[in-house]
Chain A
Amino acid sequence: MNNCIIEMKEIKKYFYGVKALDGVDFKVRTGEVHALIGENGAGKSTLVKILTGVYQPTAGTIILNDKPVQFPSPQISQKAGISAIHQEATMFPDLSVMENIFMGHHIRNKSNGLLSWREMKDKTQILLDKLELDIRPDTKVNNLSVAQRHMVEIAKALSLDAKVVIMDEPTSALTLKEVEYLYKIIRKLKSEGKAIIFISHKFEEVFEIADYFTVLRDGKYIGEGTIADITVDKIVQMVIGRSLEQMYPKLEAEQGNIILKVENLTKIGVFKNISFDLHKGEILGFFGLVGAGRSEVMQTIFGIDTKTSGEVFIDGEKVYIANPSDAMNLGLAYLPEDRQIQGAILAMNIRENITLPIIDRTSRHIFLDRNKEFEITDEYGKYIEIKASGWEQLVEDLSGGNQQKVVLAKWIATKPRILIMDEPTKGIDVATKATVHNFISELAKKGIAIILISSELPEILGMSNNVIVMHEGVITAKFTREEANSKKIIRAAIGSISK
């Protein structure tokens, strides 16, 4: 048992009082593929970031080859033999394969101190041959497929003489054939005694490739074991693990007429034949894995992207939405996923942020009416309980949860009839989450039709009247609240409906 290469004990990580990790144990042995399993927000990424030196643990110890170590920086972790291959490959697209592999640890000529490109090229070729990659060392990364880029990242890890290779959702953008190839490489690395930490949402992959697993939930260690001795059902149980009814009060679903009807909406290469109905007062959950195309569908409906074909009806009438202004005039509002990039304007204050979409209502002719702005901000800011020193406070000085509330207030102030919310509780603390959930329920009660995109299963199950599941751009299942359960939803989300 003591061939553990890495042992993390009682790891704790707090962010401003929020417990991202609360006493997690994690052991990895040489020559094993170790699956790290958990929902979004379970603490997997935080654990990996501690292991790779990006974050410092609040408490706990890391033992490497029986010696306690510390990783104050990514470079030190890398030197110790730990390499991470990221979900979205972090590469320099305009540089060559060789330059990418040796970025940060270039080989120098011993006599004159200049870079020795010839040696790096030879070494790159050896690595590429080993990975059976049919590309040249001086090919630009730009010209590679996603799978090939992953392989280059693996080559980089090998060039660093990594003992532990961390793969975070490595298959999310790969085709079936490429996944097979990745498995082959993983097995090869394993046979050479490398330890591989494999992070994936897809249970079928875990059962295919992993030897051992550790489950995290809500930042806590739940359990571990060998894959051979466990069933899918048991793991799902461990991953979800809580009684949903306790967390989300059942909604009294009083649904009205169909307000939004989408028919065969298609954008070639992104999603196809998306059809659904949305009723007044309904919360329609959209579940899927990253890259399933949920946000893209909504952005198309909202006029940010253009469709290839398909129709949208509001109140039974066919509508043409060419840009967000059109959508807003029809009573739509879109709360985007990334509050910092798509939602809030950080350099503006709360009042200016909240009144920006309703600038028509808060201005007389071309002039702004500050009193009106203040009135509306006060109304919605208090309603949504934004905690700030005043409505003139800059949004960049607010906490993440309060920034999200500002974005929420901004869109609710538009008095939408249809509210699309994309991951409204992503990355915010538990208390704020609860407030946001209450608002969603309240808005639905008022008759607003809500589309809730979420990657958190409990949120989808707890909040929605109906659930739509998407996988790779198509709708794979629709459930009513009564029919829905986590197993069915996850099956549909990973695309294996047949089982």
Chain B
Amino acid sequence: MKDLFRKREFNLFIFILFIIFGVSWRTPSFLYINNFVDILNDTAILSMVAIGQLMIIVTGGIDLSVGSSLALSGMSVALLNQYHPGIPIFMIILISIAIGLLLGSINGLLVSRAKIPPIITTLGTMSIYRGLVFVLCGGTWVSAHEMTEAFRVFPRRSFLGISSLIYLSILIVILFLIFLNLTRTGREIYGVGGNKIASQYVGINLKKIQYIVFTLCGGITGLAGFLWVARYAAAQSETAIGFELQTIAACVIGGVSITGGSGTIIGVVLGAFFMGIVYNALTMINVSPFWQMAIQGFIILFAIIINTVMDKRNQQLMLRKRSFNE
């Protein structure tokens, strides 16, 4: 437990409590359990994709194409559902994941084999994938009445008052907690990000690791694509535009080092939750929608500054402790 909440993650946790306290003091209804379930529902998809983004950032890369991949896989399965309503929902989910894996592995191949820097690769595929969404739908929507009932309600189906959306995101969190912390490949991902040259010297295959993280991120994004269009009961060409920036923000708020090598899933999940809370709170305390975006950005920067300051203080304490030891 000490490990789980050390440093940045713990700071962020305190900051979140602080915001909850502050907002509920002005708007007590903020504290209602239903409101929290809403926030969790709102941040479930963000948390999942941010975990994919985390793995890529830890290796020193970045994925700008997640928003477009999400839209492309979402649009594909929405159209599939519209024209072939007979396909069972679990097949739809698998197809959505498969499309995501494919899109992610294209990124992975371009980065690892063609050696194009991740930011350039995904800047390109971001436009390509988004363009394919337009091609697929021809500029029209797939709206609620064109989807089957099973498709539409899937994310909202609940068990013990909690939606399948939240269960799925918890499943993803647990799976990737295990993957990153308890498997060889997970350890190698952190190794590559921490020091590429040293990793090469110990025999880690950099290309393989790069391919794996992009592909896995794609898979998660594919799943998120289905969940997104089903939850909002609409697949549009503008679905999830700018979403990649939110996933990066969740990572950075959660203490992921943008230069690679460090970052935890708990941090990223807290980061996503933090963004959800800020968004929700601003609505609850009736901040004008025109102001919301700017204030959101300001609070995100503030959180990161606090985090960095606390981090520096921890490091100085550490240094002082060290010079005493020697």
Is the pair A345, B182 in contact by a Cβ cutoff of 8 Å? Answer: no
Is the pair A324, B200 in contact by a Cβ cutoff of 8 Å? Answer: yes
- Bound: A17/B326 CA distance, A: 9
Is the pair A359, B201 in contact by a Cβ cutoff of 8 Å? Answer: no
Q: How far is the CB of B127 from chain A (nearest CB, A)?
A: 28
- Bound: A343/B194 CA distance, A: 11
Which 4 pairs between the two chains have the least Cβ-Cβ distance?
A: A345-B194, A325-B203, A347-B261, A357-B202
A363, CB-defined interface residue at 8 Å: yes
Other than the given A347-B257, A367-B184, A392-B3, 14 more pairs (CB < 8 A) read A324-B200, A328-B203, A342-B195, A342-B201, A343-B201, A344-B198, A345-B194, A345-B261, A352-B191, A356-B202, A363-B183, A368-B183, A397-B318, A399-B326
Q: How far is the CB of B57 from chain A (nearest CB, A)?
A: 13
A341, CB-defined interface residue at 8 Å: yes
Which residue of B is nearest A362, CB measured?
Answer: B184
A16, CB-defined interface residue at 8 Å: yes
- Bound: A325/B194 CA distance, A: 19
Residue-wise interface mask of B (294-326) relative to A, using a CB-CB cutoff of 8 A (1 in contact, 0 not): 000000000000000000000000100011011
Q: List 11 A-B contacts (CB under 8 A).
A: A334-B201, A345-B194, A346-B195, A346-B261, A348-B190, A348-B191, A352-B187, A356-B191, A356-B204, A366-B184, A397-B322
Is the pair B195, A323 in contact by a Cβ cutoff of 8 Å? Answer: no
Residue-wise interface mask of A (319-330) relative to B, using a CB-CB cutoff of 8 A (1 in contact, 0 not): 000011100100
Q: Which of B173-209 contact A (CB under 8 A)?
A: 182-188, 190-191, 193-195, 197-205
Which residue of B is nearest A401, CB measured?
Answer: B326
- Bound: A410/B193 CA distance, A: 18
Q: Which of B246-270 contact A (CB under 8 A)?
A: 257, 261-262
Is the pair B326, A16 in contact by a Cβ cutoff of 8 Å? Answer: yes
Is the pair B200, A368 in contact by a Cβ cutoff of 8 Å? Answer: no
Residue-wise interface mask of A (1-42) relative to B, using a CB-CB cutoff of 8 A (1 in contact, 0 not): 000000000000000110000000000000000000000000
Is the pair A324, B203 in contact by a Cβ cutoff of 8 Å? Answer: yes
| Chain A residues whose CB sits within 8 angstroms of the CB of B3 once the complex forms | 392
A285, CB-defined interface residue at 8 Å: no
Candidates B199, B323, B325; contact of A345 at CB < 8 Å: B199
Is the pair B199, A359 in contact by a Cβ cutoff of 8 Å? Answer: no
Is the pair B182, A368 in contact by a Cβ cutoff of 8 Å? Answer: yes
Number of A-B pairs, beta carbon distance below 8 Å: 86
Number of chain B interface residues as a range:
20 to 34
Q: How far is the CB of A376 from chain B (nearest CB, A)?
A: 14
A64, CB-defined interface residue at 8 Å: no
Number of chain A interface residues as a range:
20 to 34
Is the pair B191, A345 in contact by a Cβ cutoff of 8 Å? Answer: yes
- Bound: A325/B205 CA distance, A: 9
- Bound: A323/B197 CA distance, A: 13
A440, CB-defined interface residue at 8 Å: no
- Bound: A344/B325 CA distance, A: 22
Is the pair A359, B184 in contact by a Cβ cutoff of 8 Å? Answer: yes
Candidates B184, B202, B322; contact of A363 at CB < 8 Å: B184
Residues of A in contact with B (beta carbons under 8 Å apart): 16-17, 302, 304, 323-325, 328, 334, 336, 341-348, 352, 356-357, 359, 363, 366-368, 387, 389, 392, 397, 399, 410
Q: How far is the CB of B199 from chain A (nearest CB, A)?
A: 7
Which residue of B is nearest A373, CB measured?
Answer: B187
Which residue of B is nearest A299, CB measured?
Answer: B201
Q: How far is the CB of A386 from chain B (nearest CB, A)?
A: 13
Is the pair A368, B187 in contact by a Cβ cutoff of 8 Å? Answer: yes
| Chain A residues whose CB sits within 8 angstroms of the CB of B195 once the complex forms | 341-342, 344-347
Candidates B185, B186, B190, B198; contact of A343 at CB < 8 Å: B198
Q: How far is the CB of B27 from chain A (nearest CB, A)?
A: 41
Is the pair A359, B188 in contact by a Cβ cutoff of 8 Å? Answer: yes
Which residue of A is nearest B185, CB measured?
Answer: A366
- Bound: A334/B3 CA distance, A: 32
| Chain B residues whose CB sits within 8 angstroms of the CB of A356 once the complex forms | 187-188, 191, 199, 202, 204
Is the pair B194, A348 in contact by a Cβ cutoff of 8 Å? Answer: yes
Q: How far is the CB of A345 from chain B (nearest CB, A)?
A: 4
- Bound: A390/B3 CA distance, A: 13
Is the pair A16, B184 in contact by a Cβ cutoff of 8 Å? Answer: no
| Chain B residues whose CB sits within 8 angstroms of the CB of A359 once the complex forms | 184, 187-188
| Chain B residues whose CB sits within 8 angstroms of the CB of A348 once the complex forms | 190-191, 194, 261
| Chain B residues whose CB sits within 8 angstroms of the CB of A336 once the complex forms | 198, 201
Which residue of A is nearest B197, CB measured?
Answer: A342
| Chain B residues whose CB sits within 8 angstroms of the CB of A346 once the complex forms | 194-195, 261
Which residue of A is nearest B260, CB measured?
Answer: A347
- Bound: A363/B186 CA distance, A: 12
- Bound: A341/B201 CA distance, A: 11
Q: Which of B146-195 contact A (CB under 8 A)?
A: 182-188, 190-191, 193-195
Q: How far is the CB of B179 from chain A (nearest CB, A)?
A: 9
